Amino acid sequence: LQTLLAERFQLKFHRETRQGPVYLLKKGNKGLKLEDAKDKKAYPWIGSATEGGMMTGTGMAGINASMQLLAERLMPYLGRPVVDQTGIKGSFDFKYEYVSDDPHPDVVSTILTSVEAVGLKLEASNGPVERIVIDHAEKPSPN
């Protein structure tokens, strides 16, 4: 895809790393509620606790999931990079169902609650953030 964009738009870009806002995923103060993965060959998955898809405010579940994968999956919902600083190795199964009277609970609040419920925590901090910088682009060439 990058090659296609580069050719079609004469796109020139580079990557750079700067300090910016991140979340640090760490062990919480309470005990971990992560079970060793039952099936280490299962496709690693993290999503909604009740609907089986993307996180929607019903909690969070994981199958054969590493902490690095959890950090990666949380990024789009939290709007900033999540850096795994748990020091926890291996893959785990976990599930936390968020119960609320609100028919449309806030997904970010639900994620924060779910992360704490499984014995982890997220801390706002500054850290390295990779960015793509566009140096040059032109109108697309005709087909």
- Strand pairing report for 92-97 and 82-84: unpaired
Over residues 60-105, the pLDDT tens digits come to: 999 999 999 999 999 999 999 999 999 999 999 999 999 888 888 8
- Residue 13 has a CB neighbour count (10 Å cut-off) of 13
d(CA 125, CA 43): 31
Q: What is the DSSP letter of 55?
A: -
Q: Full-prediction pTM beyond 0.85?
A: no
In tens, the pLDDT along 23-64 reads 999 999 989 999 999 999 999 999 998 877 888 888 999 999
